[in-house]
Protein backbone atom coordinates (compact mmCIF):
# COMPACT_ATOMS: atom_id res chain seq x y z
CA UNK A 1 0.00 0.00 0.00
CA UNK A 2 1.21 3.49 -0.83
CA UNK A 3 2.22 5.47 2.27
CA UNK A 4 0.32 8.57 1.09
CA UNK A 5 -3.18 9.22 -0.22
CA UNK A 6 -4.55 12.10 -2.29
CA UNK A 7 -7.44 14.25 -1.12
CA UNK A 8 -9.62 13.03 -3.98
CA UNK A 9 -8.92 9.38 -3.18
CA UNK A 10 -9.67 9.97 0.50
CA UNK A 11 -12.98 11.61 -0.39
CA UNK A 12 -13.88 8.54 -2.41
CA UNK A 13 -12.86 6.15 0.36
CA UNK A 14 -14.87 8.07 2.95
CA UNK A 15 -17.95 7.72 0.76
CA UNK A 16 -17.39 3.98 0.33
CA UNK A 17 -18.65 1.03 2.34
CA UNK A 18 -15.51 0.71 4.50
CA UNK A 19 -14.30 4.23 5.26
CA UNK A 20 -10.96 4.64 7.00
CA UNK A 21 -10.46 6.03 10.47
CA UNK A 22 -9.23 9.63 10.05
CA UNK A 23 -6.96 11.34 12.57
CA UNK A 24 -6.35 15.09 12.71
CA UNK A 25 -2.77 15.73 13.96
CA UNK A 26 -2.58 19.47 13.42
CA UNK A 27 0.30 20.82 15.54
CA UNK A 28 2.70 23.71 15.90
CA UNK A 29 6.22 23.62 17.33
CA UNK A 30 6.25 25.06 20.82
CA UNK A 31 2.46 24.83 21.22
CA UNK A 32 -0.23 25.37 22.17
CA UNK A 33 -1.96 22.52 20.41
CA UNK A 34 -4.36 23.17 17.54
CA UNK A 35 -7.43 21.52 18.99
CA UNK A 36 -9.23 24.82 18.46
CA UNK A 37 -8.51 24.65 14.72
CA UNK A 38 -9.91 21.12 14.68
CA UNK A 39 -13.04 22.34 16.48
CA UNK A 40 -13.52 25.08 13.89
CA UNK A 41 -13.28 22.76 10.87
CA UNK A 42 -12.06 19.24 10.19
CA UNK A 43 -12.56 16.41 7.75
CA UNK A 44 -15.87 14.71 8.57
CA UNK A 45 -15.44 11.89 11.04
CA UNK A 46 -11.88 12.82 12.03
CA UNK A 47 -10.76 12.58 15.65
CA UNK A 48 -8.14 14.96 17.06
CA UNK A 49 -4.85 13.60 18.43
CA UNK A 50 -2.39 15.83 20.32
CA UNK A 51 1.21 15.23 19.25
CA UNK A 52 2.86 16.59 22.39
CA UNK A 53 0.89 14.51 24.89
CA UNK A 54 -0.30 11.45 22.93
CA UNK A 55 2.43 10.90 20.32
CA UNK A 56 5.35 11.68 22.63
CA UNK A 57 6.45 11.30 26.22
CA UNK A 58 7.40 14.40 28.24
CA UNK A 59 10.60 16.11 27.14
CA UNK A 60 13.75 15.18 29.02
CA UNK A 61 17.07 13.42 28.64
CA UNK A 62 15.67 11.38 25.74
CA UNK A 63 14.86 14.53 23.74
CA UNK A 64 11.99 16.92 23.17
CA UNK A 65 9.62 14.30 21.75
CA UNK A 66 10.64 10.89 23.10
CA UNK A 67 8.68 7.77 22.28
CA UNK A 68 5.34 7.75 24.10
CA UNK A 69 4.54 5.11 26.66
CA UNK A 70 2.85 2.34 24.63
CA UNK A 71 -0.07 2.29 27.07
CA UNK A 72 -0.63 6.04 26.66
CA UNK A 73 -0.34 5.80 22.90
CA UNK A 74 -2.60 2.78 22.67
CA UNK A 75 -5.24 4.42 24.83
CA UNK A 76 -5.18 7.52 22.63
CA UNK A 77 -5.47 5.49 19.45
CA UNK A 78 -8.38 3.43 20.76
CA UNK A 79 -10.15 6.61 21.89
CA UNK A 80 -9.71 7.95 18.35
CA UNK A 81 -11.34 4.83 16.91
CA UNK A 82 -8.24 2.99 15.69
CA UNK A 83 -8.40 -0.78 15.24
CA UNK A 84 -5.86 -3.05 13.57
CA UNK A 85 -8.36 -4.30 11.00
CA UNK A 86 -9.40 -0.88 9.71
CA UNK A 87 -7.44 1.49 7.46
CA UNK A 88 -6.17 4.72 9.01
CA UNK A 89 -5.51 8.08 7.32
CA UNK A 90 -3.69 10.83 9.21
CA UNK A 91 -3.38 14.50 8.29
CA UNK A 92 -2.07 17.77 9.68
CA UNK A 93 -2.22 21.37 8.53
CA UNK A 94 -0.16 20.72 5.41
CA UNK A 95 3.49 20.62 6.44
CA UNK A 96 3.27 16.87 6.92
CA UNK A 97 5.61 16.54 9.89
CA UNK A 98 3.02 15.84 12.58
CA UNK A 99 1.02 13.49 10.37
CA UNK A 100 4.21 11.61 9.53
CA UNK A 101 4.96 11.23 13.24
CA UNK A 102 1.56 9.57 13.75
CA UNK A 103 2.07 7.44 10.64
CA UNK A 104 5.47 6.27 11.85
CA UNK A 105 4.29 5.49 15.38
CA UNK A 106 1.35 3.45 14.12
CA UNK A 107 3.67 1.53 11.81
CA UNK A 108 6.25 1.03 14.56
CA UNK A 109 3.56 -0.34 16.86
CA UNK A 110 2.30 -2.78 14.26
CA UNK A 111 -0.67 -1.20 12.46
CA UNK A 112 -0.74 -2.73 8.97
CA UNK A 113 -2.49 0.02 6.98
CA UNK A 114 -1.72 3.70 7.59
CA UNK A 115 -1.50 6.52 5.03
CA UNK A 116 -0.79 10.24 5.21
CA UNK A 117 -3.05 12.71 3.41
CA UNK A 118 -0.75 14.26 0.82
CA UNK A 119 -0.77 18.02 1.30
CA UNK A 120 -2.70 17.77 4.57
CA UNK A 121 -5.81 19.71 5.45
CA UNK A 122 -4.70 22.48 3.09
CA UNK A 123 -5.23 20.08 0.17
CA UNK A 124 -8.71 19.05 1.28
CA UNK A 125 -11.52 20.67 -0.74
CA UNK A 126 -14.32 18.40 0.37
CA UNK A 127 -16.92 19.00 3.09
CA UNK A 128 -15.87 19.81 6.65
CA UNK A 129 -17.56 19.67 10.01
CA UNK A 130 -17.04 21.60 13.21
CA UNK A 131 -17.19 20.81 16.90
CA UNK A 132 -15.80 17.78 18.68
CA UNK A 133 -16.38 14.46 17.01
CA UNK A 134 -17.37 11.47 19.16
CA UNK A 135 -16.15 8.24 17.60
CA UNK A 136 -16.68 4.62 18.49
CA UNK A 137 -13.73 3.27 20.46
CA UNK A 138 -11.26 1.11 18.59
CA UNK A 139 -9.40 -2.00 19.69
CA UNK A 140 -5.80 -1.30 18.61
CA UNK A 141 -3.15 -2.72 20.94
CA UNK A 142 0.39 -1.46 20.20
CA UNK A 143 3.10 -4.04 19.56
CA UNK A 144 6.30 -1.92 19.35
CA UNK A 145 9.16 -2.93 17.09
CA UNK A 146 7.49 -3.52 13.72
CA UNK A 147 9.83 -1.10 11.90
CA UNK A 148 13.48 -0.16 12.58
CA UNK A 149 14.35 2.25 15.38
CA UNK A 150 17.73 3.81 16.16
CA UNK A 151 19.16 4.98 19.46
CA UNK A 152 22.12 7.36 19.77
CA UNK A 153 24.73 4.63 19.49
CA UNK A 154 22.95 3.09 16.54
CA UNK A 155 22.77 6.43 14.76
CA UNK A 156 26.49 7.03 15.33
CA UNK A 157 27.31 3.58 13.98
CA UNK A 158 25.07 3.97 10.92
CA UNK A 159 26.72 7.31 10.10
CA UNK A 160 29.98 5.34 9.74
CA UNK A 161 28.76 2.15 8.11
CA UNK A 162 25.67 3.17 6.13
CA UNK A 163 23.78 6.38 5.41
CA UNK A 164 22.45 8.66 8.14
CA UNK A 165 20.37 11.59 6.85
CA UNK A 166 19.86 14.82 8.79
CA UNK A 167 16.38 16.16 7.98
CA UNK A 168 16.84 19.60 9.58
CA UNK A 169 17.44 22.84 7.71
CA UNK A 170 20.92 23.10 6.21
CA UNK A 171 21.94 26.02 8.44
CA UNK A 172 21.23 23.97 11.55
CA UNK A 173 23.14 21.02 10.12
CA UNK A 174 26.14 23.28 9.49
CA UNK A 175 25.88 24.79 12.95
CA UNK A 176 25.44 28.33 11.62
CA UNK A 177 22.40 28.76 13.87
CA UNK A 178 20.74 26.68 16.56
CA UNK A 179 17.44 28.22 17.71
CA UNK A 180 16.29 25.32 19.88
CA UNK A 181 19.01 23.00 21.14
CA UNK A 182 22.07 23.82 23.25
CA UNK A 183 24.68 22.97 20.60
CA UNK A 184 24.71 23.51 16.83
CA UNK A 185 26.05 21.11 14.23
CA UNK A 186 25.40 17.51 13.27
CA UNK A 187 26.26 13.90 14.06
CA UNK A 188 29.65 13.18 12.49
CA UNK A 189 29.20 11.36 9.20
CA UNK A 190 25.57 12.38 8.72
CA UNK A 191 24.49 13.80 5.36
CA UNK A 192 22.35 16.93 5.10
CA UNK A 193 18.92 16.19 3.58
CA UNK A 194 16.37 18.87 4.59
CA UNK A 195 12.74 17.81 4.44
CA UNK A 196 11.99 20.80 2.22
CA UNK A 197 13.55 18.84 -0.62
CA UNK A 198 10.81 16.20 -0.36
CA UNK A 199 7.89 18.40 -1.36
CA UNK A 200 6.79 20.45 -4.34
CA UNK A 201 5.58 24.06 -4.23
CA UNK A 202 2.05 22.72 -3.80
CA UNK A 203 3.00 21.25 -0.43
CA UNK A 204 2.49 17.71 -1.73
CA UNK A 205 5.24 15.14 -2.03
CA UNK A 206 7.33 15.10 -5.16
CA UNK A 207 6.71 12.06 -7.41
CA UNK A 208 8.22 8.79 -6.23
CA UNK A 209 10.77 8.73 -9.05
CA UNK A 210 12.02 12.21 -8.20
CA UNK A 211 12.32 11.28 -4.55
CA UNK A 212 14.22 8.12 -5.44
CA UNK A 213 16.63 10.17 -7.55
CA UNK A 214 17.08 12.68 -4.73
CA UNK A 215 17.91 10.04 -2.15
CA UNK A 216 20.16 8.17 -4.56
CA UNK A 217 22.16 11.37 -5.06
CA UNK A 218 22.54 11.56 -1.29
CA UNK A 219 23.88 8.02 -1.08
CA UNK A 220 20.81 5.77 -0.83
CA UNK A 221 21.90 3.46 -3.63
CA UNK A 222 20.38 0.27 -2.26
CA UNK A 223 23.64 -1.11 -0.89
CA UNK A 224 23.57 0.42 2.58
CA UNK A 225 21.15 0.74 5.47
CA UNK A 226 19.50 4.15 5.77
CA UNK A 227 18.63 6.08 8.92
CA UNK A 228 17.17 9.51 9.61
CA UNK A 229 17.25 12.02 12.43
CA UNK A 230 16.09 15.61 12.86
CA UNK A 231 15.60 17.89 15.85
CA UNK A 232 13.26 15.71 17.90
CA UNK A 233 11.90 12.87 15.79
CA UNK A 234 9.08 14.77 14.07
CA UNK A 235 10.41 16.14 10.77
CA UNK A 236 12.62 13.03 10.64
CA UNK A 237 9.46 10.93 10.43
CA UNK A 238 8.52 13.00 7.38
CA UNK A 239 11.85 12.05 5.80
CA UNK A 240 11.23 8.37 6.57
CA UNK A 241 7.82 8.78 4.91
CA UNK A 242 9.40 10.36 1.82
CA UNK A 243 11.87 7.49 1.67
CA UNK A 244 8.97 5.03 1.89
CA UNK A 245 7.25 6.78 -1.02
CA UNK A 246 10.50 6.32 -2.93
CA UNK A 247 10.58 2.63 -2.01
CA UNK A 248 13.52 2.92 0.41
CA UNK A 249 13.17 1.51 3.95
CA UNK A 250 14.74 3.62 6.68
CA UNK A 251 15.13 3.65 10.46
CA UNK A 252 14.29 6.68 12.62
CA UNK A 253 16.42 8.01 15.46
CA UNK A 254 13.58 9.39 17.57
CA UNK A 255 15.73 11.17 20.17
CA UNK A 256 17.50 12.97 17.33
CA UNK A 257 19.58 16.12 17.86
CA UNK A 258 17.62 17.15 20.96
CA UNK A 259 18.90 14.01 22.69
CA UNK A 260 22.32 13.83 21.05
CA UNK A 261 23.30 17.42 21.86
CA UNK A 262 22.52 17.09 25.58
CA UNK A 263 25.48 14.76 26.14
CA UNK A 264 28.83 16.58 26.22
CA UNK A 265 30.54 13.26 25.54
CA UNK A 266 29.02 12.89 22.09
CA UNK A 267 31.01 14.36 19.19
CA UNK A 268 29.64 17.25 17.14
CA UNK A 269 30.59 18.12 13.57
CA UNK A 270 30.03 21.54 11.97
CA UNK A 271 30.20 22.91 8.47
CA UNK A 272 28.73 21.64 5.19
CA UNK A 273 30.59 18.31 5.07
CA UNK A 274 29.52 15.11 6.89
CA UNK A 275 32.78 14.72 8.84
Q: Which residues are catalytic?
A: 230
Q: Are 98 and 234 in contact (CB under 8 A)?
A: yes
Q: In sequence order, what are the residues at sequence separation of 6 or more whose Cβ sits closer than 8 angstroms to the Cβ of residue 235? A: 97, 100, 167, 168, 195
Q: Would you list the DSSP string of 214-272?
A: HHHHTT-SSSS-EEEE-SSSSHHHHHHHHHHHTT---EEESSHHHHHTT-TTS--B-SS
The H-or-E segment that residue 187 falls in is: none
107-144 burial: b if 16+ Cβ within 10 Å, else e: bbbebeebbbbbbbbbbbeeeeeeeebeeeebebebee
Q: Helix (H, G, I), strand (E, B), or coil: what is residue 6?
A: coil
Amino acid sequence: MNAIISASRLAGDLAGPNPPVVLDIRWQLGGPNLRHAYAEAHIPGAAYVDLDTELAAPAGAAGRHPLPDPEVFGRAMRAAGVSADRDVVVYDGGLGWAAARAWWLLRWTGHPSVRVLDGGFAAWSGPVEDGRRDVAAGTFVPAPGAVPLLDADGAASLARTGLLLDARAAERYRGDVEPIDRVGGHIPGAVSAPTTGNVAESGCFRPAGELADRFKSLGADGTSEVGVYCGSGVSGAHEVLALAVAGIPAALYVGSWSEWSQDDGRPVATGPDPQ
